[in-house]
Structure 1
């Protein structure tokens, strides 16, 4: 919907959209027709950044971001004022000294006297040699800068047609310059490339020389520092008789561990021999011998008793003629006797008296070993003390020597890093700079003319500009143009709308009595019928209709007269009252014989009401007066109630709501109210209070009638 409205707006201004681009095209044509031809020259510089054939020292592949950064730095250096000033100096020096200057001398250049030209030439040559820019704070150099600007040799003028870019992702930088002279374009490109390569080579070599000198000095300082630290360590070892501290400490630690082991073994020997001696002494205890001898006596007694029992049993066995009954007893006693003998034999083997000499010999041996072990412990302790004392003396030397060695190690690492860096910088300094011009700019052919392109662009830009302006106007336009917009934005129903008529005078009789007329008139007639139908539905038997508006001159009179005439043509008895004391438009148009003031004051009788025609118009005498100033509200209610008996409908036009009570007093005596709103207005903050008032009388207010709405045909005609 919004797009269709915007398209209608464009169609409405189609002649503007055609005329402005045509004018722009004509103006552009006359501006560019005398433009000189343009000659373009191009040169190419190889950088060696990504070209592996030129990589000698650095074989690593740099990242793409770093490569792009390096190319950006080179391009910006070429575009810098310092480089362009060098080209400017060469151009102006050429024009000052040559019989064939690249450009026609400017008025400022032609005004120079011979002395001034000589002075300018000397200053330009001096600045060129020193690679410095003109100082605008110096009046003399400021004048020389204006001379460059007049010849369009200054840096800003050169940058306008100078193009410097990297050729895709290659190793080359393209330099292009467009000028009106082919030799000038080639000279600028070659001069810029030469000045840039010379300057870049100079600063690179200078930086490399400074780096080599700095690293050489720093390398000598580090070498002296390393030699001093090494000499200090050597003197410390000589003074403290330290040959090889780590080996000495390792040897002492091994001896200490060996003697600790021997001490542990001696202590174990002392403990074990003392325990063995105590065990031997225990075997020589009299109590133990008494226990053993008493045990043997008891067994012997038992053997004797068993032997006696066995002899008695044998006698009984023999006496009883070898009776088997006694045989079992004899065998049993024999077994007991044998067991006792074996027991007696075992007791005799464990007797300590049998190995007494061996025990004595063992004890003497163990005592000798115990004494040797105790004596060895004391000697081991003395040796351990000596070794620990010697080891403790090495600890301070270890700390000092360690600090010396750490300092020497750090100094040596720094020296080696600097040496590597020094070798690399020295080798790089011995090679030439990789930048070189591989393509020399030559005077080129004239470029294809851009005049037609500029003319076309001028037309397109002007057309787009017009469309953008119309779009901005369309977006900023907050006016009401259709009944739907009015209903949506006020939240009040719209009964209909009336199209905008071109006629200055509307003949209602001709509209309703004939079928002839333009399409606008017929549309107006149909829309009025629709509004009449909607009002009839809303009236629902009520007879007094008030036609109102928010602001003056929105079409209240037109709607009131149109409704009155449309009712009269259907044989209804209509009374049209001009209640607008502020602006009596109906009274001035119709010139009625009766006035509403006369009726309210009782000057119009019943017979005049009874003899009324189908269409009756009552005017007003105007003036600074309101309805309730003529009669009271109660009297007005009675008077208008009486009119209902004589007319089918009473249509009243009142003043706009901006007249406050003068309009609202008519609302009190009306049955229904309809408001006219002129299309194309904005719903400003000043209108909202009156709209809110209409919402408060919703029982009487039946809706809007949108007036002066352009039809599609009308819009096309206006466009």
Structure 2
């Protein structure tokens, strides 16, 4: 369907298109003229989401994050929890005000409140302050789902119900940081007070929601820091106790000193052992050189005591020297004192030996004094080295024991240090996260403080009534519905309707059209019918005078079904040919109810007999019954019009079909062309060689000029 076809289709139903919207508009006005007045109040809030200031400086522009933040704010305002809190506060305020001013009970909305809540419930909810009353209302409403407050919130009450708060809306103003909140109500005072409460609840919930998230994170990291700090303390205490119990100051230095000192002591022990062996050999040699008498004198009690004393002093000196070497310091006063005492003891021994000067020579002729001096020196060296060996071996045994004790402590100490390091790292990581969370919390507190730019206003006049939009929408809806219905039915209509559609579906050329007698004005119908008949007659005459010329020119008028205007077409053609001076003979089946006022010669034949006997045209004329035959016997008949019975309902005289020169197929435009119709026409075309063209009946006036 083209656009022009759609317009013509709508124009044909202009009365319905005008009447239905008018009726709907009047009905909408009648039923909506008493709608309550609506007041609107709004407020503007600055959020700072897009361009606000944070601890890191100006907020960075992030389109997705900004839109997400604004969506969260708007959804928070329209959340059920927000609306419930607004209803609780509004109800608590009105309960408290009603208790303070009982005269308000006869005004809205206090009268509704008295009707919805029994006096006992109101008295139970009432507190000494608004805050106490609000807490009572909250607890009472959440106790169960059958209490009056819960029922009131979920009713259709225009003041306290959640349905009334559906008129609360929020929207971002352009691309700015501002959010506009709006509320509509039937009362201006209720409108403003409800919006004030909604704004307060919205600000509180927004702040609590954002700060609550960071507060929970801060609490978590505070616990983690405390736990990590406790772990560090335990690890440090364990390390300290281990070092204290094992006398460890610096394990690496101590273990290194022990190993170094042990190695040095082992070297000195070897050297002293060699010196001791040498001194012992010298002493034995000197003893052999001395006689028995001198040897016995040297072994006297006094000399032995002095030798023992010298041995003790040498042991003390060796011990003190080793101690000073470990401390890496110079000779101490004690060492000097011991050394002096040892020297004095050696001199005393030398003095005792000198008392034997009377025996001046030895058995070998060596002076005794020199031998005794050598003996004293060798004896002193032996005693000194013996003392050193004793002390060094003792110290070496101590170092071996200390080395064996220190060796396994290293692994334990490393494990304790590793545990301490891990605990410190965990503590520092938790502390860093805690500091970041606190900074984020401070940043959230800084950015979550929404500010009211424009406080809710008191509306002084109602909004423009909804009556006009309702009437307009009703009328437009009716028009659109009717137009859609008409166009839909037009699209679903599969009838031929237009000459172009008929030619496309039937597959035959269109010879002419006859207008719909019910949808066409009389004057237009008469002129169009005259023009169409003239066109068909001229078409017949043109075909009759086209070689090869046959006389008479036989035209068949057929239709697929009964009652498809083929008789009307045949009569109109015969009458018009007669008026134009063309000698015409019309043949009709005897079952047709033709008009009694026929101007052209007409005959009636029996279609069944003609079909059964195979009559040709001459035989058909001879056996036909005359109806109006003033000129029937004239040999000058130029055109013979033969109407046949319906193709799908009667038997056709096949003999006459073969003599046809031209065929008109009458088809009504108000019915669809089916497959059976197409098959019937194809069988007709197979039975005759005459060309077949369509005459379309009942065409709308706007399609008259398409042929």
TM over 0.5: yes
8 A contact 2:658–2:688 mirrored in 1: no
Q: 1:585 aligns with which of 587, 590, 593?
A: 593
Cα distance change of structure 1 residues 76 and 130 upon mapping to structure 2, 3 Å threshold? farther
Q: Are positions 1:521 and 2:526 aligned together?
A: yes
Cα distance change of structure 1 residues 224 and 702 upon mapping to structure 2, 3 Å threshold? same
Aligned 1:320-335 pairs, distance under 5 A:
none
Q: Tell me, in whole angstroms, the C-alpha distance in 2 between the residues paired with 1:77 and 1:131.
A: 24
Cα distance change of structure 1 residues 435 and 88 upon mapping to structure 2, 3 Å threshold? same
Matched residue of 2:44: which SS? strand
Q: Which residue of 2 is the match for residue 350 of structure 1? A: none
Say how many residue pairs are matched.
525
CA offsets 1:180-224 (integer angstroms, 9 cap, x no match): 211011011001111222333444454444333221111122233
Matched residue of 1:675: which SS? strand
Matched residue of 2:72: which SS? helix
Q: Are positions 1:23 and 2:23 aligned together?
A: yes
Matched residue of 2:452: which SS? strand
Q: Which residue of 2 is the match for residue 172 of structure 1? A: 178
Alignment gaps of 5+ in structure 2: 99-103, 261-407, 624-632
Q: 2:432 aligns with which of 396, 400, 417?
A: 417
Matched residue of 1:43: which SS? strand
Alignment gaps of 5+ in structure 1: 253-392, 505-516, 593-612, 621-625
Q: Which residue of 1 is the match for residue 511 of structure 2? A: 495
Q: Tell me, in whole angstroms, the C-alpha distance in 2 between the residues paired with 1:649 and 1:21.
A: 56
Q: Tell me, in whole angstroms, the C-alpha distance in 2 between the residues paired with 1:409 and 1:111.
A: 65
8 A contact 2:51–2:60 mirrored in 1: no
Q: Tell me, in whole angstroms, the C-alpha distance in 1 between the residues paired with 2:473 and 2:191.
A: 26
Matched residue of 1:677: which SS? strand
Q: Tell me, in whole angstroms, the C-alpha distance in 2 between the residues paired with 1:30 and 1:486.
A: 48
Q: Are positions 1:651 and 2:632 aligned together?
A: no
8 A contact 1:41–1:176 mirrored in 2: yes
Q: Tell me, in whole angstroms, the C-alpha distance in 2 between the residues paired with 1:406 and 1:698.
A: 112
8 A contact 2:603–2:621 mirrored in 1: no
TM-score (norm 1): 0.61
Q: Which residue of 2 is the match for residue 83 of structure 1? A: 82
Q: Which residue of 2 is the match for residue 370 of structure 1? A: none
Cα distance change of structure 1 residues 550 and 401 upon mapping to structure 2, 3 Å threshold? farther
Cα distance change of structure 1 residues 700 and 225 upon mapping to structure 2, 3 Å threshold? farther
Q: Which residue of 1 is the match for residue 284 of structure 2? A: none
Q: Tell me, in whole angstroms, the C-alpha distance in 2 between the residues paired with 1:50 and 1:172.
A: 9
Q: Tell me, in whole angstroms, the C-alpha distance in 1 between the residues paired with 2:218 and 2:519.
A: 98
How far 1:422 sits from its partner (Å)? 4.6
Q: Which residue of 2 is the match for residue 40 of structure 1? A: 40
Q: Tell me, in whole angstroms, the C-alpha distance in 1 between the residues paired with 2:24 and 2:80.
A: 37
Cα distance change of structure 1 residues 701 and 499 upon mapping to structure 2, 3 Å threshold? same
Q: Are positions 1:683 and 2:673 aligned together?
A: yes
Matched residue of 2:176: which SS? coil
8 A contact 2:574–2:641 mirrored in 1: yes
Cα distance change of structure 1 residues 675 and 131 upon mapping to structure 2, 3 Å threshold? farther
Q: 1:157 aligns with which of 160, 164, 170?
A: 164
Aligned 1:619-634 pairs, distance under 5 A:
620=606, 627=608, 632=612, 634=614
Matched residue of 1:527: which SS? helix
8 A contact 1:654–1:666 mirrored in 2: no
Matched residue of 1:184: which SS? helix
Cα distance change of structure 1 residues 396 and 62 upon mapping to structure 2, 3 Å threshold? farther
Matched residue of 2:163: which SS? helix
How far 1:571 sits from its partner (Å)? 4.0
Q: Which residue of 1 is the match for residue 498 of structure 2? A: 482
The range that moved more, 64-73 or 219-228, is: 219-228
Q: Tell me, in whole angstroms, the C-alpha distance in 1 between the residues paired with 2:621 and 2:414.
A: 126
Matched residue of 2:642: which SS? strand
Q: Are positions 1:617 and 2:633 aligned together?
A: no
Cα distance change of structure 1 residues 118 and 574 upon mapping to structure 2, 3 Å threshold? farther
TM-score (norm 2): 0.62
8 A contact 2:661–2:690 mirrored in 1: yes
Cα distance change of structure 1 residues 155 and 91 upon mapping to structure 2, 3 Å threshold? same
CA offsets 1:550-574 (integer angstroms, 9 cap, x no match): 2322211110111122232344443
Cα distance change of structure 1 residues 409 and 420 upon mapping to structure 2, 3 Å threshold? same
The range that moved more, 698-707 or 401-410, is: 401-410
Q: Which residue of 1 is the match for residue 342 of structure 2? A: none
Matched residue of 1:10: which SS? helix
8 A contact 1:578–1:619 mirrored in 2: yes
Q: Tell me, in whole angstroms, the C-alpha distance in 2 between the residues paired with 1:167 and 1:550.
A: 71
How far 1:658 sits from its partner (Å)? 3.0
8 A contact 1:545–1:673 mirrored in 2: yes
Q: Tell me, in whole angstroms, the C-alpha distance in 2 between the residues paired with 1:545 and 1:477.
A: 33
Q: Which residue of 1 is the match for residue 584 of structure 2? A: 574
Q: Which residue of 1 is the match for residue 556 of structure 2? A: 546
Q: Tell me, in whole angstroms, the C-alpha distance in 2 between the residues paired with 1:433 and 1:197.
A: 9
Q: Tell me, in whole angstroms, the C-alpha distance in 1 between the residues paired with 2:70 and 2:143.
A: 28
Q: 2:228 aligns with which of 192, 216, 222?
A: 222
How far 1:94 sits from its partner (Å)? 5.3
Q: Tell me, in whole angstroms, the C-alpha distance in 2 between the residues paired with 1:176 and 1:708.
A: 61
How far 1:89 sits from its partner (Å)? 3.1
CA RMSD of aligned residues (A): 4.6
Cα distance change of structure 1 residues 631 and 498 upon mapping to structure 2, 3 Å threshold? closer
Q: Tell me, in whole angstroms, the C-alpha distance in 2 between the residues paired with 1:118 and 1:630.
A: 107
Matched residue of 1:650: which SS? strand
How far 1:443 sits from its partner (Å)? 1.3
Cα distance change of structure 1 residues 91 and 690 upon mapping to structure 2, 3 Å threshold? farther
How far 1:132 sits from its partner (Å)? 6.7
Q: Tell me, in whole angstroms, the C-alpha distance in 2 between the residues paired with 1:111 and 1:397.
A: 79
Aligned 1:262-661 pairs, distance under 5 A:
407=422, 411=426, 414-424=429-439, 427=442, 433-450=448-465, 451-501=467-517, 518-538=523-543, 541=549, 543-579=553-589, 581=591, 584-586=592-594, 589-590=595-596, 615-618=601-604, 620=606, 627=608, 632=612, 634-636=614-616, 639-640=619-620, 647-659=637-649, 661=651
How far 1:65 sits from its partner (Å)? 1.4
Matched residue of 2:156: which SS? helix
How far 1:689 sits from its partner (Å)? 3.2
CA offsets 1:529-564 (integer angstroms, 9 cap, x no match): 111222344455453322112232221111011112
8 A contact 1:44–1:439 mirrored in 2: yes
Q: Which residue of 1 is the match for residue 396 of structure 2? A: none
Q: Which residue of 2 is the match for residue 129 of structure 1? A: 138
Cα distance change of structure 1 residues 487 and 233 upon mapping to structure 2, 3 Å threshold? farther
Q: Tell me, in whole angstroms, the C-alpha distance in 1 between the residues paired with 2:107 and 2:236.
A: 72
Q: Tell me, in whole angstroms, the C-alpha distance in 1 between the residues paired with 2:589 and 2:26.
A: 59
How far 1:676 sits from its partner (Å)? 0.7
Q: Tell me, in whole angstroms, the C-alpha distance in 2 between the residues paired with 1:669 and 1:531.
A: 20
Q: Tell me, in whole angstroms, the C-alpha distance in 1 between the residues paired with 2:665 and 2:125.
A: 84
How far 1:44 sits from its partner (Å)? 2.4
